[in-house]
Amino acid sequence: MAASTPTNGVHIAWLSFAQRVRFAGMNLRDRVAQNIQELRRASGLSQEELAHRADVSRGHMCKVENARFAASLDLLERIAKALNVDPEEFFTKR
């Protein structure tokens, strides 16, 4: 008999959020990409400058902003710090 894993409230909240995003017609990767791009532009930064501040290549940043690459949580934290925003801003419906 396999041991059951206790339910993690954060995991359930995350799944609920991801499900709401999908039902809104946009997947989570697309929303994050769009928000990063909008926040970067609002900050007056080029993609190259944001990539430099987040310690990632410009090509990699391009893939994140165009939803061709799913950014890790670590990368999202670095991007948020480079943009001087809370990482939660990446998941906000605009």
| Cβ proximity of 86 and 39 under 8 Å | no
d(C-alpha 33, C-alpha 30), whole Å: 5
Tell me how far CA of residue 18 lies from CA of 25, 48, 70, in angstroms: 11, 29, 14
The count of other CB atoms within 10 Å of the CB of residue 86 is 9
| Cβ proximity of 88 and 60 under 8 Å | no
pLDDT for residue 49: 98
- Indicate the residue type of 53: R
pLDDT for residue 94: 75
pLDDT for residue 4: 46
Q: For the chain, 94 residues long, give each residue's pLDDT as a single digit of tens.
A: 444 444 566 556 656 665 565 555 679 999 999 999 999 999 999 999 999 999 999 999 999 999 999 999 999 999 999 999 999 999 998 7
Burial class, 90, CB count within 10 angstroms (exposed 0-12 / middle 13-18 / buried 19+): buried
pLDDT for residue 53: 98
